[in-house]
Structure formats: C-alpha cells, structure tokens
Structure 1
C-alpha cells in the first residue's frame, strides 16, 4: 500500500538536517519551493538577515483586502546526542507501530507539513477562501528567533502581508486533551558576577567569590522552591503559570588550589504575564546587594511583559477557533506556553496568535532523545487543520 503523500512529505522534510547551530537552510528552502510548486502557489523568499531565509507560500483569497491568516512554523531544530537515540535522528524511520522518529517530528516540522497538506486537500476539493493565507517558514526559532521572525516582523514586507491572526506551534499532550497557548512567559537569563578576595587555596580569606556565590545560589534556589511549592499545591496551575528559576551555568577558577577573583553563576528565569517585573528585578538586585560587595547582574535576555491573546467573545478569531474545536468534540486546555516561541513577536505587533500543535495522547518529546510522532496522530492533526483553516479564513 502506498504511503500517504502527507506522511511521505513529512518524512522527507524531517530528513533535512536543519540542526542548530550555524544552519545551512539551502536544502530546506529548495524543498519548500518544491512543495509550493506542487500546490501551484507562489513562493517568496525574504532575507532580512543574511543567510537567514524566510519562505512564504501564499494562497490568495477571493477578498484579498481582508486581514490575512498567517500559518507560521520554524525550519530549524535543536541539536541531538546521537548516542542517546535508538533511531537515526535524521532518518525519519517508521516503526511497526507507525511511530516516526526524527528530530523535529514534534518541534515542529509536523505542523509545517500539516499546513501544506491541508491546503493541498482544500485546493483539490475546489474550496474557495475569502482571506488570503500565508504559510511562513522561518529560521532560528530554536536560538531565540531574533534573526528570524523577530527581524522579519519589523519589515515592510511583513506589514504588507496584512496579517489579522496567526497560528504557530504548541505542544504535545500526553492525555486526550489538546492544548492551545494564548501567551508566553518572559525570558530573563542573567549571569551573576561574584568578585572577591583571591589567593592560595590553603588559606581562609574574607569575602571570597565562592562565599558570595553561595549566598546568591541560596536566594535563587529558595525562590525556586517557593514557586515549585505553589505549582504543586494549587490545583489547575500549569508550569506556564509560575516563575521557573534554574541554575544553568557556573564559570570561573583556574585550578583547585587557587581562590579565584571572580565566579559567575547563570540562571534561566521564565516569568508569566502576571509577574510584577519590577519586583522580580528588585529581587535580583537585592540578592546581589545582600551577597556582598562586587556582586552584580549581567542580563543575557530581559524581555518585557508578554502580550496576551484574548480567549473570549471580544476576539472573533477565538470564537471561530472554539466553534471548530467544539464542533469536532475536542477537549481543549488553555495555557501559557512554558518556553518561548515566535508567537511573541507576532503578538508584539498587536496580532492575535494561537500556539497550537494538534498532538494528543502523545508524550512531550520536544528537544528530547528519540523524538517521535505517530503517523495516525499526524494525520488526525491534518484533518483538524482541514476544518480549522477554512473556518478562520472565511470568518
């Protein structure tokens, strides 16, 4: 029996190793041009940042002056540790149960192909849509997206698309529910520099960098413990509703018998929209001050408050989205995305965006070893988009 064309194209896309860092997107761009040609649709490639292409496939609607629907996905994937995989991470191997293994199977080449194949099916049925649809395939989301959607969203090329609403990535759900994300947490990544008295490792100097760093770590870990307790003790909360704090880097020192003049500890912090950012900034500064002289923060990222897409009757796009999922009998959860996606750049432009990847009864394996998506779940998600896309485009 011949393999479904959508599955065939999905596996071909997965075999293109657009893996960070320093991605060469040429093969990916050529694949997407081929997909556009197979749909008989125009394809444009923008490059707001050198070697960071944006591919846009457009299906013009019958009323092209209406705000358009943007179907966004990213082309890049995170690195792999091959020794941890039981399948070739870029082989797109399918096992006897129909599980397709590859980096990007969930995050998020599945969604990009589902967009393409939904449009293919709609065109084959002779469906006409009022709004124009743009399918965008962007680079570098996995390293922050600043040179991808971040740069492109500030250009006249993007503004000329007249986007009224966007769909972007969500996350798998291990139970029968589907999750739609309406906001994201702000990312704060901070390095705390702890300077102190250096000298020989056999002595007890005052005010060493190590002592100061311990005070900093204790304060951050205490904050983390309180947030963890809040999450565990409050029914209905998800990880996106609390502040996460994780110690991710420790730098400094030259050898064990030398007390260093400086140690640096790095923390990754994710702040939900409800967070008082001034208060959290004060916590960091107060922690540094209490740790001792010569302790100060250096921010790698310090995002402003996250924009929110309203999930109520004031947002007609949401009313349509909900009508479709209700009509399909889908059990939906609404959540704040725990990480960061390109949706934040779209929402910053005042455009409503839904983070949605139709993968239920599926373990969450984005960035994990042996990332996979079952063929049946992939095709079910395709069926959902065949209903959702025209409803939004004709709303």
Structure 2
C-alpha cells in the first residue's frame, strides 16, 4: 500500500536472477546488487548527497583499476571522469555520460520506500533514479568491468563522465563543464547520454532535443478599487495573453498523432505553470504575471516563433512585456545518416543484436543539448524496452532482467564505438 514501506531486507526480498543459491532463492547477480546500492544514495534535490556519489564512484574506479579525475565546475559541484585510455589516445574519444542527481519524491504515493531499492517478486526494482538514470551509470561501469576482465583494449579512449545538477537545468553541471578546459582535454568525438524507456519491444534513440523556453509575460494595468469597472486592467491583458498561448497549445495538440507529427518531439508544447499578482481581494492589481514552459522542436524557426510571441503581447494590450528565465536557441542534430561513421557503428551493432531502433527528437531536455551546442555528436539512449516510461513519476522502477540485458548491449556498443576507424580529419 502507498505510504507503507516493505520491511524486508533489501538483499533478501523478491526473486533473484543470478547464479548460485542463497536461503533457498537464486543468488542475485552482483551487477544488480551494485545497482541497488547506488540507488540507495540520496542524491535527491533540493540537497543531493553528491559526496556519497563521489565516494561510490571513487570505489568503482579503484575496482576497475582506472584513474578518476574530479573537476569542480562550480562551488560544491563536481564532475567525475573515469578514463580508459586507448591504444591511440590522439584519436577522438568516446564519452559515456550520466548524471548523478535525481528529482524529488512524494513518498506517500510510493508503494515502497523510494530510496530502499526494494525488489519485488517479479524482479522489479523500485527506487527514484531506477530509470533516470542510475541504471545507465551502472550499466556503463559493469560493461567496462566485463570488457576489461576479458582483456579487451580499444584504439579510442573511453571516458565515463558523471555530472551533477542535470535535473535542475544543468547550469552548474554540464552547461558549465563544456566551457571548462578539462572538457577540451577529453578530446570528445562522440557521446552517449540518457534516453527514455520504451513500452514496446523497440528501443528509442534520440538524436536531437526540443529547445526549452521558460518565459514570463508581465501585464501592467490600471489599479483601483475592487468595487468598480476599472478600465485597462492587468487581468484583462493577462486573459488575452493566456488565451493566445493556450489556443496555440490546442492547435499543436491537434497536430500530434497526425500523419505530419508522430511523437511529442515533433510538436511545440506550451504549459502555463505560474500566475502571480494581486495584494488583496478588494484591490485591482497594478501588474499580473504569467509564466509558461515551452518546448520547441528543432524544425521550428525560433526567430519567427519569438515574433509570434511579440504579436500576442501587442494584441494583449499596452506595455505588455516578456522575459526569459531560459531560452535555448541551439538546433544542432546528431547525424543518423548511415554514412556517418559514429551512427553506423551504433546502429549496425544494435541491428546485429536484433534490436529495433525508433529514432526521435527528445521531448524534454538532457545534458546532450550542451554537448550538441558545442558542435559534438551525442545520442540519447537508455536500453530499457518493454518498460513503461516512469522518469520523475511515482513508483519508478526497472526490471532486473531489462537492466542486465542493458549491460550486454553496452558490452557490444562500447567496443563498436571505441573501435571506429580513424576519421579523415584524424589521419
């Protein structure tokens, strides 16, 4: 029941999926045990325990016998980098990126404690971050562990980057890191970052993102007593602004799932998120503000779209203005052309594993956008098929068999990417 935590010990609950037997049950795969340990670290906003994550990652680096570098990009915000140097380190590297933070929880809506990493009888592991994206972090690490144990080595260097603050916009994380000298030293050629689960048998792959615009429209008006028909009020202007934004929202909603637009990443979403204004019931306010969250596909002309917003403000009334809390203008897409060597390595490896790939524009925002903004290719990919999309949702979970299969996927993808032949620019 929601709000009542399972009292079973984390390493005893549910059925397990490894070899051997413990207490009458099959022993849990060590990779699953490690995943659950990482999930129990409370790297949750508003006060994520980043120190615990860094200690965990230092331990992983020691186990892998690989060097780890810590780069403080902002006060209290550290990017950790574990590096597996290639036989030809002058070639462009492959970066496996993940973020260490997770979003807040409403504990009363969870069937198990959100930081206990409880595994049920079906092998579903419940925890905040199970999908977004602690699973991918451990899959990277475990794939590298297996490849190293098998004596593999590749021409290109592989960097695992672990960044903070992705869930609060990345401003003190990846956005700052891409401008840091240590980022330049990575000599990045290609990056993998997070994607989304897919409820079907297919795997979703993201090659671009919608631009997030957070906008506040300010509507000044004539103040006065609440008993009169005051002319030119802030509320009247506010209503016109809201109508313009929400009418456009409805048109985009209608376009979704038509022959023109198949996914959320193909349309512009607009959501009204905050309204401010007023001091008392009987006082007509001198200003009212309304804020919107917009996500705009890379196919939209951003300058023309902003002109549309200016028209809406002019039509709403005199002196209506707007400003941005966030305004991303980058529309770079990562090539999914079969002639592109990075995409060819990625897609052909997936095809060899009989994986069906579904290419999409990411509907929200990830750290990939900052990588693409500096002109580097990045693919958003989390190997979670047959799984409902539960990032940021109550009762976020991932099945242990899907998790373990993801490790095998990276065991194949990492060698393919790190083995890409020298590009013409590298010769």
Q: Return structure 1 stretches of 4+ with deviation > 6 angstroms.
A: none
The reply on whether 1:34 has 2:59 as its aligned counterpart is: yes
CA displacement at 1:262 relative to structure 2? 1.0
Which residue among 262, 267, 270 is the counterpart of 1:237? Answer: 262
SS at match of 2:305: helix
CA distance in 1, matches of 2:353, 2:41: 33
Match of 1:311 among 336, 343, 349: 336
> Could you say what secondary structure the match of 2:102 adopts?
coil
CA distance in 2, matches of 1:315, 1:21: 41
Tell me what 1:139 maps to.
164
- Cα 1:132–1:300 shift into 2, 3 Å: same
Correspondence for 1:246 = 271
Question: Which of the residues 371, 374, 384 maps onto 1:359?
Answer: 384
Residue pair 1:277, 1:305 contacting (<8 A) in 2 also? no
Question: Is 1:87 aligned to 2:112, yes or no?
Answer: yes
Indicate yes or no: 2:145 matched with 1:120: yes
Hey, what's the Cα distance between the residues in 1 that align with 2:232 and 2:191? 53
The corresponding residue for 1:277 is: 302
Partner of 1:110: 135
Deviations, residues 58-101 of structure 1 (Å, cap 9, x unaligned): 11111111111000000001111111111111111111110001
CA positional deviation for 1:332 = 0.8
Which residue of structure 2 lines up, in the alignment, with residue 265 of structure 1? 290
- Whether the 8 Å CA contact 2:93–2:418 is kept in 1: the answer is yes
Whole-angstrom CA distance in 1 between matches of 2:252 and 2:259: 11
Aligned to 1:146, the other structure's residue is in SS state: coil
Equivalent of 1:165, from 190, 208, 231? 190
Aligned counterparts of 2:282 and 2:145: Cα–Cα separation in 1? 66
Distance across 2 between alignment mates of 1:167 and 1:385: 10
Give 1:218's match in structure 2, choosing from 233, 240, 243. 243
Which stretch has the larger CA shift, 225-234 or 85-94? 225-234
How many angstroms does 1:315 deviate by?
A: 1.7
| Counterpart Cα distance in 2 of 1:393 and 1:150 | 25
Number of equivalent positions = 395
Q: Residue 280 of structure 2 corresponds to which residue in structure 1?
A: 255
Alignment match, 1:349: 374
Deviations 1:84-136 (A, max 9, x none): 11111111111111000111000001000000000001111111211111000
The alignment status of 1:296 with 2:324, answered yes or no, reads no
Give the counterpart of 1:69 among 80, 83, 94. 94
Unaligned runs of 5+ in 1: none
What is the CA distance between 1:255 and its match in structure 2? 2.5
Give unmatched runs, 5+ long, in structure 2: 1-20, 22-26, 421-427
Secondary structure of 1:273's partner?
coil
With the length of structure 2 as denominator, give the TM-score of the two structures.
Answer: 0.91
2: CA distance, partners of 1:324 / 1:302: 36
Deviation string, structure 1 residues 284-315 (Cα, Å, up to 9, x no partner): 11111110112110111111132100100342
**Length-normalised TM-score, structure 1:** 0.98
Cα distance in 1 between the residues matched to 2:338 and 2:258: 31
**Cα distance in 2, alignment partners of residues 195 and 249 from structure 1:** 17
CA–CA separation in structure 2 for the residues paired with 1:350 and 1:279: 23
Task: Please state how far the C-alpha of 1:389 moved relative to its aligned partner.
Answer: 0.5
- In structure 1, C-alpha distance between the alignment counterparts of 2:277 and 2:104, rounded to whole Å: 26
Candidates 75, 83, 96, aligned match of 2:121: 96
Distance (whole Å) between structure 1 residues aligned to residue 419 and residue 299 of structure 2: 34
Q: Aligned partners of 1:4, 1:232: CA distance in 2, in Å?
A: 41
Q: Distance in 1 between matches of 2:180 and 2:340?
A: 26
Whether the 8 Å contact between 2:257 and 2:263 is mirrored in structure 1 is no
Kept in 1, the 8 Å contact 2:342–2:417? The answer is yes
Task: Return the alpha-carbon distance in structure 2 between the equivalents of residues 278 and 289 of structure 1.
Answer: 17
**What RMSD, in angstroms, separates the aligned Cα atoms of the two structures?**
1.0
C-alpha contact 1:193 1:263 (8 A) present in aligned 2: yes
Deviation sequence 1:140-197 (CA, Å, 0-9, x none): 0011112111111111111111111000000001111101100001111100111111
